[in-house]
Structure 1
Amino acid sequence: MTTKSSYTADPARIGQAISNRTVALVGLMGAGKSTVGRRLAEVLGRQFYDSDNEIEKAAGLSISDIFALHGEEEFRRGEHRVLERLLGEAPHVLATGGGAYLNPDTRDLLREKAVTIWLNADLETLWRRVSRRSHRPLLKADNPKGVLSRLLDERTPIYEKADLVVTSEEGPHRATVNAILKALDEWSQTHND
């Protein structure tokens, strides 16, 4: 009989091993970047930032309003500026917007200053999570699930460029946090800054 070995994280050791790097979560809307990111930050004893929240604070508008008033292109420029500012601060845990990693300049900035982790989830998981809310500007369409599917297909090759890939599944968030800690632990053993 084969038993699964359980991984026990040492957050203090992992935090020390990546002490000069922000942990940046990338992926599609609904992947759990904000929820998992908050819990990961608690475990690592770091500050947590959600780039969408920081963009809204800087603009004084909601993401939906920014899209409606200024369009996606202007939103992406502002997003890059906010991420640049955040990545200039002490290492923390950062949940990025779903499209942030698509911008090559933003991607380069994230890879220079952070360990990037793609929180990967299948379409059904993503749809279950995003269909509970109506504030997603890219999903204000006749067939929102179809849009989500198209975005997943288009963005997957870009998200795959992240340093690490961790599956975000339904269930307790601590399982995803633990999977991230394990991935960070393994990454830190081969990437000694």
Structure 2
Amino acid sequence: MADTEAALPPHRRLHKTVALVGMMGAGKTAVGRALAARLDVPFLDSDTEIERAANMTIKEIFDRDGEPFFRERELEVISRLLETERGILSTGGGAFLAPATRETIAQKGVALWLDADLELLWSRVRHRDTRPLLQTADPKGTLTALYEARTPVYALADLSVKGDAGYAIEDMVDHVLAALETRPDVLEVL
């Protein structure tokens, strides 16, 4: 019986919503879904919630109303999700850049940066046309500029996990869990 108990995965209790932050292509949605499933908590996606509320895609909102309008709606949605659910929250790549959003996440949850290097990000986003900020004449140059501008802000997150091209999603989940377990106020292992 002791061998069976030792083989069981640890039971964990999530005390705060974990807001995954980072660049587009870092894996916030894929890792977030797998992490939520592993912890048996809701997976929340701020972009999906914004699209649902607006009945428009993110690209359509950007095109019609611009980025500042989008960022205001994003803060509203993230605040609501942090207040109403405890789970894993995937945020848009630019969400954490706004001081008000960072403060809201710090007050009501915990920020975890999925830190992927530029080449890994480029390999993941280069063939996708769903990234409004990359709809430029030089998408890799744009991604590079965004990466260089945003990385110092993402580094302000409470926790970070370095991505690797060789990691499967479940490998990243393991690394994220290990990081979260360093914070018993966020994730308690029972």
Q: 1:37-116 alignment to 2 at 5 Å?
A: 37-116=32-111
Per the TM alignment, residue 189 of structure 1 is displaced from its structure 2 partner at its CA by: 6.9
Q: Which residue identity is paired with 2:181?
A: D
**2:21, 2:93 within 8 Å by CA — same for their partners in 1?**
yes
Task: Look up the SS of the partner of 2:172 in the other structure.
Answer: helix
**2:97, 2:150 within 8 Å by CA — same for their partners in 1?**
yes
Task: Look up the SS of the partner of 1:29 in the other structure.
Answer: coil
**2:181, 2:187 within 8 Å by CA — same for their partners in 1?**
no
Q: Which residue identity is paired with 2:11?
A: A
* Partner of residue 132, structure 2: 137
Task: Look up the SS of the partner of 1:119 in the other structure.
Answer: strand
TM-score (norm 2): 0.90
Q: Distance in 2 between matches of 1:101 and 1:9?
A: 36
Q: Which residue identity is paired with 1:112?
A: Q
- Give ranges in structure 1 of 5+ residues lacking alignment: 1-7
Q: Distance in 2 between matches of 1:140 and 1:53?
A: 20
Per the TM alignment, residue 11 of structure 1 is displaced from its structure 2 partner at its CA by: 5.1
Q: Which residue identity is paired with 1:98?
A: G
Equivalent position to 1:146, from 120, 126, 141: 141
Q: Distance in 1 between matches of 2:164 and 2:8?
A: 19
Q: Distance in 2 between matches of 1:27 and 1:36?
A: 12
Alpha-carbon displacement from aligned partner over 1:68-126 (angstroms, at most 9, x marks no partner): 00000000001011111101113110000000001101100001111210000011100
* Partner of residue 174, structure 2: 178
**2:21, 2:90 within 8 Å by CA — same for their partners in 1?**
yes
* Partner of residue 3, structure 2: none
**1:34, 1:95 within 8 Å by CA — same for their partners in 2?**
yes
**2:105, 2:111 within 8 Å by CA — same for their partners in 1?**
yes
CA gap of 1:80–1:148, structure 2 versus 1, over 3 A, is: same
**1:9, 1:181 within 8 Å by CA — same for their partners in 2?**
no
Instruction: Give the aligned CA root-mean-square deviation in angstroms.
Output: 1.9
Q: Distance in 2 between matches of 1:132 and 1:95?
A: 21
The answer as to 2:11 corresponding to 1:12 is yes
Per the TM alignment, residue 188 of structure 1 is displaced from its structure 2 partner at its CA by: 2.0
CA gap of 1:142–1:85, structure 2 versus 1, over 3 A, is: same
Sequence identity of aligned pairs in percent? Answer: 46
Q: Distance in 2 between matches of 1:30 and 1:138?
A: 13
**1:9, 1:182 within 8 Å by CA — same for their partners in 2?**
no
